[in-house]
Structure formats: C-alpha cells, structure tokens
Chain A
Amino acid sequence: MLGLVPVSATAGSFSQLTALLAFSAAPLAHLRALDIAVIATYFVMVIWIGFYLKGRSNTSEEFFMAGREMTAWIAGLSFVSANLGSLELMGWAGSAYQYGILATHWYWIGAIPAMIFLGLVMMPFYYVCKTHSVPGYLDLRYGGAARSVAAFSFATEMILMSGVNMFAMAVVMKVVLGWDISFSIFVSSIAVAIYVGLGGLRSAIFNEVLQFVLIWGGALLVPILGMIQAGGVGGLKRQIMANMQSVTGVHGDSYFHLWRDTGSFAANPMGVHWTGIVFGLGFVISFGYWTTDFLVVQRVLAAHNLRAARMAPIIASFFKMAVPFIVILPGLLGLVLLQNPDGSRRQLVGEDVVAACTVSSASGQIENSTACSAAMAKTSLPADYQQKVLSAAPDAELHSYNQALPLMMVRYLGPGLLGLGITALIAGFMSGMAGNVSAFSTVWTYDIYKPLINKKGTDSHYVLVGRLSILIGVGVSIGAAYLVMHAHGIMDYVQALFSIFVAPLLATILFGMFWKRATKWAGFLGLLLGIIFSASLFMWVKLVPSALANVALSPDAKPMAENVFRALWAFVFSAIIVVVVSLLTKPRPVAELEGLVYGATKLPTKEPVPFYKNEYAWAILVAIIFIALNIMFW
C-alpha cells in the first residue's frame, strides 16, 4: 500500500525517486541463471494459479468476494500482505537507517490498535450487512450520494496508485538490476491482468498469501546473517552508539527509543511529537487505513463466517508486529555493516544527493559538479570520499537510504538466494498492484456501474464487467505509469490522494456506525467537505512550505509531521460537519438501521468455543505483547 510508504521521511519527495533514472551507475546486483530461474518459476506459479482458479470464479460472489470462503488464516495473511508492498519494505528500512526504531511506530501503534478494533468492533457491521465494499456500506447507511463520492474517489485513487506502484517498481528494478523500465512495467502488468482477470479476488488473495511466504523466505536471512556479523544485539548497539553521532548528527542512543524523545519536535530526528504519533498516526491514519480502506477490508469480507472475519485482523496483527524484524532491523544493521568498495563504512544519502551527482553517460563525468558539491556538503560524507565522487572515481558510489535493504540483500545473498530476495520484492509489487485492480474492479462494478449505468444486468454480465474493468484498470495504470515517468511532479499528488481521502472517510464511517442520529446529508457533506478541506491543507503546504509550521503547530515540524496532523485536522473538521448537519436534519427511523449501526443491530449469537479459538482471547494476547514491546523499547 503506497499510502503508508514513508515518502517524506526517506526521500524528501517521492518524485525524487524518479531522479534515479538519470543516475547511470552500474546496477546493485547481477543475477545469475539460477536467480532468473527462481524469478521465472514465480511467474509460472502465479499464472498457473490464475488458470486453475478461473473455473471457480464464475459468479459475481465468487469473482468479487472469493465466494466468501476464506478461512481466518488466509483472510488474515492476505489482509496483512496487501499492505506489505516492496516500496514499504524498502522505504521503512531506509527510514530505520535514518531515524532508528522510531520508524517502528508505523508497524505497531500505527496498525495494531486499529486491527484489533476492526476485528472486535467494526467487522460485525461490515459482515452482517453483507456489503460488497466500503462504499457499499455508505450506500446502505447514508444513501447513494455518499456512496458515489466514496466510490469515485476510491476508484480514482486505486487506479492511479496502481500506476505509480508499477512505475516505482520499474524504477527499483532498473536501479537494482538494470532492467529496462518498459520491460518491468509490461511483464508485471500482463501477469497481474492474467491472474486477477481469470481468478478474481480469490486469485489475488492466493497470491498475497504466496507473497507473504516469499517475503519471509527471501528477507528473513538478511537480519539473521546481519546480526551474526554485527555480534548480536549488544554488538549492534555498541557500534551504533560509537559511530552514529558523527555520521548522522543524531545521538546513537536515540536510535533505540520509541517514545523517550518525542516530547518535542526538535528532540527526535523524525521531527514528530508524541501527540501526532498517538492521535494523528495511531488514531486517524491508522484507523482510517486499516478499518475503512477497501483494499484491505475486502480481504476480510471474503471470510467464510463472522468469527473468521473477526479473527482475521487479529491473526494479521501478530504478523504485523513481527515485520520490523525484516524491515527495521536490516536498516539499523546497514548503518554499521554496509561498506564501500574500498572497505570504508558506506554512508547512504538522500535521493536528492544521488540525483545531484548524476554521472553523464557520454563523458563519464559528474554532470553538474557545483550542484553535486553543494548537495554533498549537507551530508556527513568524509571530505576525501566527496572528492572521489566529484572526480567520478569508479569505486565512489552514492546510494540512497531507500537502497539499504537491497544493498543488505546483495551483501549476504548469493546465487539462488538473491533471486529469492528479488522475487520477494517483485511479488510485493505485483500483489500490491493486484490488490489495487481487484478492489477497483469491485467498486467500479458494484458502486458505479451497477447503480449508475446498468441496474438490470444479469450476474454473468456483472462478472464480465468485472473482468473487463480489470483489463481496463491495468491499461489505465500503465498509462498512469508512463504519465508519471514524463511528469514526475504528478507522483507527489497521487501519493497524497490516500492521506487526503482517508480521514474524512473514517469520520463519516465511525459516526455512521456508532451514532444512530447521523443523517444522510451529514454523511454526504461530511465526506465531501472533509475531502475538500484535507486537499486544501495539502495544497496550502505544497504552495507555501512555511505553512507546515501552522498545520503541525510547530516551527520544528518536519514533513512527516504534516501527514499526521493534516489527517487529524481533516478528521476533526469532518466530524464537526457530520454532527452539526445531523442535528439540523431529520434522522432515519431506527428500524431502518438494523445491521448497520451499533445499538440498532442484533448481532448473531456466537457459539461457545474453546479459549484458543476465541477472538477476544487472542486480542488480549496481542494487546499484551503490543504494550510490552512499547515499554521494552520506550
């Protein structure tokens, strides 16, 4: 999922990733025949799965909802995997390199409470009302106008995100492996179109579970081998404490604390305050994403019964808590283990610095020495190394923070294992894309085509529309990928779509689900005006960067803080609109809210089960581990 990628934290601007295209350094890794065979086997497998599942995706319920047959484990792994994209893995490893374990907040407080809330509190309403989508819930609760706003926003976001995701994957493949951009875009999108177009949501879910296994199989070795080489936890801590102040300007001790230095914006390297982390990230962004983003909620709606639907996010939360082991830890290890070709410790830099030091492919010299020199002056690269870079010495490579994870892979993974690691990255990109197009297909068919264009189609007609919308969606995504390739600035705006949309949607859904008095007009206006308000805040900071201090309430705030505070204000604004408009308009009779609103719904009676099958028991265990981890790394 691109919405939670640490864009600002690692790159300054996501569009700067594209600047790497101009960087003519040799690829990070060279694949051998065995690696190619590993990657090819993955493509054969996913297409085989697509063809196998085609015969089980004939009705709309099978195609769009995977027949509502998924067990809690499969729905849960798919749920967490839909968020485990490669950009996220690489981005957060880069963030850990820069900021230490502060980046872990996006995996723990930024996910776990929301997952538990979804499973225990919200899932019954989504499941009992038998909606096919989140906009579909808005339709049942608030009517067609709110549904249409949500559906058009979501469909646009999904398809553009898919294009950006596709392009970002192609850039990474070019930088890491030297692959041609168009080759990566077309091979991956054709594979996704085949397996999702044939097997629908079931195929997307199968491949997400497959991807989950591949990511752990391919990436788990990096922290294991890194920890062996660093001398265990003690050795890693000792080396970071000894070296990091001079390298990053951050006291090494700050790398190991989640909360201690968040009392002021200036005291921690990320420039965030604990209020922003708790309320902006931990509540608005996290709850918005994990409980209302249809891309992930769709996976849980495919569960075979209500108990499985409630258990799925709880199961997912265990794995989510473990992800920092393969993401954050490699970033920290990269700080002390990565080496330059001459054996000195390698220092990664921002992508703006890498882009400023582009080597001309014609002359073999730095294209703009002045810009390169100025960019490097802001880093802590040793003077002699800067000179080597300026003279374009072959052993003076510059690599960005985002490359921390691939560099660690190349360091430890030989033939075959490297192919497995690269396959894990490709699988992450492809399943993200598949998630986008499968969610787009459902929303397009159920929330746009069916209510607004053709209400009287047969079931097989809607399946056909779904399959065609996947092909069209992939086609539009390819167009979006080429659009951002030629107009890099667009990428930042597409990236912002998620954060603009999520907070108003959360406010609208929460009030709709837990307040009987919320009215049709309140839902529509709360969502629409909230999106406009959120977009206005985004444009304000975009056009007047100093406005960041107003949005985040501190002159010391950094771009990461803007995301969480913008979301917080947009949520508050939408909540006020929903409450005020509700009080001024006529509510629906309570009898019409059965299955939709807390207090107006009689939930199905649950059969007693042993404690080890009870979702509340597992949720308590998750909560205990979550609290213990936060105390341990305070």
Chain B
Amino acid sequence: MHGSGIPIWFFIGVLLVIYGGMIFGYGVFEWATGSYPVAVQLTNLHTPVWWGGVLFLLGVFYVLKFRPARSSK
C-alpha cells in the first residue's frame, strides 16, 4: 500500500509465520513419532516439515522487511 500505516505485506508475514510454525512443528512431531495419517500419500517426503519451513521463513522475511517501525521511516 502507498502511504502510511501497516502494509498488507506485514499482515501476510505474520500469518505465514504462524502457519509455518504450526505446520513445521507438527511435521517434526510426525517425523519424530512416526505417526503419519493413514490416508495421506507420500508421507515419506515429510512435506509439513519443508513446506512449513518455507512458509515460516517467507513470513519472517516479510515481517522484518515490512514491520511498521521500518516501513514508516
């Protein structure tokens, strides 16, 4: 968004950090305990771990780059 105020990218970053953290955390738990959902395919790829990690890192990038204190400067 042009002008002052919190940019939309910051909100998106916050959401991605939360989602990435939740999904990554569950993926690690799943991998550690070996309790995979029966009906889900390709669990050997540990998708929640790497996809959750990607979302989390992307979220951290957006939060830092567009945090209100920085974007208002």
Contacts and interface: CB of A to CB of B under 8 A. Distances in A.
Contact of B12 (A213, A415, A417, A420): A213
Contacts of A38: 19, 22-23
Nearest to B7: A74
Interface stretch (A64-72, A265-273, A366-374): A64-72
A417 B23 contact: yes
A416 B8 contact: no
Nearest to A217: B55
A626 B56 CA distance: 33
Contact of A412 (B15, B36, B40, B55): B40
Interface in A405-461: 410-417, 420
Interface in B33-60: 36-37, 39-43, 45, 47-48, 51-52, 55
Interface in A50-94: 52, 56, 67, 69-71, 74
B63 interface: no
Interface stretch (A41-49, A237-245, A255-263, A494-502): A41-49
Contacts of A413: 40, 47
B37 A206 contact: no
Contacts of A416: 22-23, 26-27, 48, 52
B15 A42 contact: yes
Contacts of A67: 3
Interface string A381-406: 00000000000000000000000000
B19 to A, nearest CB: 6
A115 B6 CA distance: 29
Interface string A168-207: 0000000000000000000000000000000000100110
B42 A71 contact: no
B15 A414 contact: no
A26 to B, nearest CB: 12
Nearest to B18: A41
Given A225-B41, A415-B26, A210 B51 contact: no
Contact of A228 (B1, B2, B45, B55): B45
Contacts of A70: 1-2
Given A49-B11, A74-B1, A415 B47 contact: no
Given A45-B15, A49-B11, A417 B47 contact: yes
A37 B19 CA distance: 9
A412 B42 contact: yes
A217 B41 contact: no
Interface residues of A, number: 37
Nearest to A29: B39
B47 A221 contact: yes
Contact of A229 (B19, B26, B41): B41
Contacts of A217: 16, 19, 55
A209 interface: yes
A55 to B, nearest CB: 9
Interface centre among B23, B26, B41 (most CB of A within 10 A): B41
A350 to B, nearest CB: 25
A202 B2 CA distance: 12
Contacts of A415: 26, 37, 48
Contacts of A48: 11
Contacts of A417: 23, 47-48, 51
A304 interface: yes
Contact of A45 (B1, B14, B39, B47): B14
A25 to B, nearest CB: 16
Contact of A52 (B6, B12, B23, B43): B6
A52 B11 CA distance: 11
A71 B41 contact: no
Contacts of A213: 12, 15-16
A34 interface: yes
A260 B37 CA distance: 43
Given A52-B6, A69-B3, A415-B37, A37 B22 contact: yes
A462 to B, nearest CB: 22
Nearest to B4: A56
Contacts of B39: 410-411
A71 B8 CA distance: 11
B47 A414 contact: yes
Contact of B36 (A56, A209, A228, A414): A414
A414 B48 contact: yes
Given A34-B22, A45-B15, A206-B11, A411 B2 contact: no
A71 B2 contact: yes
A210 B45 CA distance: 28
Nearest to B5: A56
Contacts of B12: 209-210, 213
B2 A229 contact: no
A339 to B, nearest CB: 9
Contacts of B36: 414
B23 A420 contact: yes
B41 A411 contact: yes
Contacts of A229: 41-42
B17 to A, nearest CB: 11
B44 to A, nearest CB: 11
A332 B23 CA distance: 27
A71 B12 CA distance: 16
A225 B8 contact: no
Nearest to B15: A45
The 10 closest A-B pairs by CB, nearest first: A416-B23, A304-B2, A69-B2, A414-B40, A69-B3, A416-B26, A414-B37, A206-B8, A209-B8, A213-B12
30 contacts: A34-B22, A37-B22, A38-B22, A41-B15, A41-B18, A49-B11, A56-B5, A70-B1, A70-B2, A71-B1, A74-B1, A206-B1, A209-B8, A210-B11, A213-B15, A214-B15, A217-B16, A217-B55, A225-B45, A228-B45, A410-B39, A411-B39, A412-B40, A413-B40, A413-B47, A414-B37, A414-B43, A415-B37, A415-B48, A417-B51
Interface of A: 34, 37-38, 41-42, 45, 48-49, 52, 56, 67, 69-71, 74, 202, 205-206, 209-210, 213-214, 217, 221, 225, 228-229, 304, 410-417, 420
Given A70-B1, A205-B8, 15 more contacts: A38-B23, A45-B14, A209-B12, A221-B47, A225-B45, A229-B42, A412-B40, A415-B37, A416-B22, A416-B26, A416-B27, A417-B23, A417-B47, A417-B51, A420-B23
